[in-house]
Chain A
Amino acid sequence: MSEKTLTRMDLSECVFREVGLSRNESAQLVESVLTSMSDALVAGETVKISSFGTFSVRAKAARVGRNPKTGEEVPIHPRRVLTFRPSHLMKDRVAAGNKK
């Protein structure tokens, strides 16, 4: 379905066009935003961006997994996973934009 993948570079380019900072500084700001969000999540915080969505960290308990190929049992250690819940606005815009 998708042809083009947006990257950091494209986001920096948008910031560059929107605010008129240098390309270099625009790239650094995109990086700062991602780093700030990551740091908050690693610290166990929930990151809630209104009209975008909510990133939250959940703790998963240890369980016994199985190697599907060999059938061998392997212990899966307790771990923390990140989940993203899109806002209604994001869901509506994605649904509307991809409607045939």
Chain B
Amino acid sequence: MIRSELIQKIADENPHLYQRDVERIVNTIFEEIINTMARGDRVELRGFGAFSVKKRDARVGRNPRTGESVQVEEKHVPFFKTGKLLRDRLNEE
């Protein structure tokens, strides 16, 4: 399933809405999740999962080609943990 198929599915379920509004709704949801993480906050969607930000400490890395040491700065990366309900649903008979 890709973004446009998701939009189409929601549009089919809601024939009273304009397609362009469904598009804005779906885009708003994903946009807001990214905005929240960019502020360093968490997004918790019970049953589905939680998006959070993890800190990676600064470290000394190595250029694998030359073997040269390089200083890698501290950075923050997005992380997703699957919710319990969805995890269980993935494993039902």
Contact = CB atoms under 8 A, between A and B. Distances in A.
Contacts, number: 154
B60 interface: no
A2 B34 contact: no
Contacts of A37: 1, 6, 48
B89 A15 contact: no
A96 interface: yes
A22 interface: no
Given A33-B29, A79-B91, A94-B53, A19 B86 contact: no
24 contacts: A2-B40, A2-B41, A6-B42, A6-B44, A8-B45, A8-B46, A10-B32, A11-B45, A29-B10, A30-B29, A33-B26, A34-B45, A37-B48, A42-B86, A46-B1, A47-B6, A49-B3, A49-B6, A49-B30, A52-B33, A82-B49, A90-B34, A94-B78, A98-B55
